[in-house]
Amino acid sequence: DVYLLESGGGLVRPGGSLRLSCAASGFSFSTYAMTWVRQAPGKGLEWVSVISGSGDRAYYPDSVKGRFTISRDNSKNTVYLEMYSLRAEDTAVYYCAKGGSYYDYWGPGSLVSVSS
Amino acid sequence: EIVLTQSPGTLSLSPGERATLSCWASQTVTRSQLAWYQQRPGQAPRLIIHGVSNRATGIPDRFSASGSGTDFTLSISRLEPEDSAVYFCHQYSSSFTFGPGTKVDVK
């Protein structure tokens, strides 16, 4: 069975930084692109970042470009999201998901709250 | 950016009825790169459909989908209370965007 589990969320002040991790199991991790998607409280879904299976390509929407960095460690079956210069509008549940087009498995999510 | 619009915003139906959800794209979605997800309260989204009409693993055949270009539809027949959820469409043809969702309430 495929499992994804995010960790590292919490309360951070505006301008602060946070690193999320997503541990994966149950599939050949390095074969698949991985994606982060976020959902603000009571809102819809927003794509945040995607990284290729080898880790050599990554993409971001303009809303986080230059502030967020996605990376992966295929030896640990883990994908990361480093978030800098956090803003109140970054407050959301952050999901990691398997896949680089559609997402066939999702983790339960990790809540990031940006507030003073 | 391809903007996705969904309607209706909310659908209230009884068990056994059929739900029809619509998703419109502001530009053509190419190569059938459209998916649907189900999100129950307090849970992560779950893939229902990919490639416009392909059911994901474990999804019952009560769920069907169709469409092309800019107009897409998800149908759920013989509704069950467990189908109560928000349903999002998602295009991966040009970058990645999601629709705002349709809430389906079955009771």
> A98 to chain B: which residues are within 8 Å by CB?
none
**CB-based contact A47 B96, cutoff 8 Å:** yes
Give the end-to-end CA distance of chain A in Å, rounded to a whole number.
Answer: 40
Q: What is the pLDDT of residue A49?
A: 98
Work out the number of other CB atoms within 10 angstroms of the CB of residue A76: 12
**Amino acid at position A53, single letter:** G
**Residue position matching structure tokens 């129950």:** B40
Residue ranges of chain B with per-residue pLDDT less than 70: none
**Residue position matching structure tokens 């883990």:** A78
**CB-based contact A104 B47, cutoff 8 Å:** yes
* Sequence-separated (6 or more) residues with CB below 8 Å from residue A65: none
pLDDT digits (tens, 9 = 90+) for A61-87: 999 999 999 999 999 999 999 999 999
Q: What is the pLDDT of residue B68?
A: 95
Q: What is the pLDDT of residue B78?
A: 97
Whether B103 and chain A come into contact, CB under 8 Å, resolves to: no
Whether B32 and chain A come into contact, CB under 8 Å, resolves to: no
pLDDT digits (tens, 9 = 90+) for B2-25: 999 999 999 999 999 999 999 999
**Amino acid at position B61, single letter:** D
> A108 to chain B: which residues are within 8 Å by CB?
43-44
Residue B70 CA neighbour count, 13 Å, CB half: 8
Whether A45 and chain B come into contact, CB under 8 Å, resolves to: yes
Whether B14 and chain A come into contact, CB under 8 Å, resolves to: no
Both structure tokens of B29: 């979605």
* Sequence-separated (6 or more) residues with CB below 8 Å from residue A66: none
Among B1, B31, B47, B96, most A C-beta atoms within 10 A, so best to mutate, is B96
Residue ranges of chain A with per-residue pLDDT less than 50: none
In contact, A105 and B58? CB cutoff 8 Å: no
> A1 to chain B: which residues are within 8 Å by CB?
none
Both structure tokens of A70: 């996605």
